[in-house]
Amino acid sequence: MATYQARVLVIANQTAGSPELVAALQARQQKGPMVPTLLMPAVRNGFAGKEETRDRLDDVIEQWREAGLPAEGVVGDPDPAVAVQETWDPRNFDEVIVSTLPGSTSKWLQSDLPHRVQQITGCVVQHVEAGGKREPNYGPVPEKDRDALGLFRLHAQKDR
């Protein structure tokens, strides 16, 4: 008897290979068996755009498989909302994840893609923000910034 596996549609492009998305998929896998399908919008219209995207898609799928994710992939229309409309079928997918760049750097967030995907699919969409977090710098304050930092502290104490 086969075990049920959730079928998860993952819409990602620049963030498809990000550690944040891979971690989110691994966390989802811990909840129960699942097979993610990466929907990657083409970089541009036409055959050449799809072929260029296919190479990137194949690289990411291989990365996901190395991370223990039994992934599949498909190249979609350059417009991510159109790609979802053309790919979505409730008989083929159970869940949806949208991965974007952070905040104002994300064209997908500017166009409210996670909400639009929710409207298209009727599913609750998990949003993964990836690729924009910088590592904190714990080193000493650079010499050029020490005076400014001291002036800030002086002014902050006066304002109390």
- Per-residue pLDDT tens digits for 133-142: 443 333 344 4
The reply to whether 143 falls in a domain is: yes
Average pLDDT, rounded, for the chain: 83
Q: What is the pLDDT of residues 97-155, one digit of tens each?
A: 999 999 888 899 889 999 999 999 999 899 999 875 443 333 344 444 344 444 434 44
C-alpha 82/C-alpha 77 separation (Å) is 6
Q: Domain of 49: which CATH number?
A: 3.40.50.620
Half-sphere exposure of 36 (CA within 13 A, CB side): 31
- Does some domain include residue 1? no
Confidence band, pLDDT 50/70/90 cuts, at residue 21: very high
Number of domains in the chain: 1
pLDDT in tens, 77-100: 999 999 999 999 999 999 999 999
Domain that holds residue 127: 6-158
| Confidence at 40, pLDDT banded by 50, 70, 90 | very high
- Other C-beta atoms closer than 10 Å to the C-beta of 50 total 19
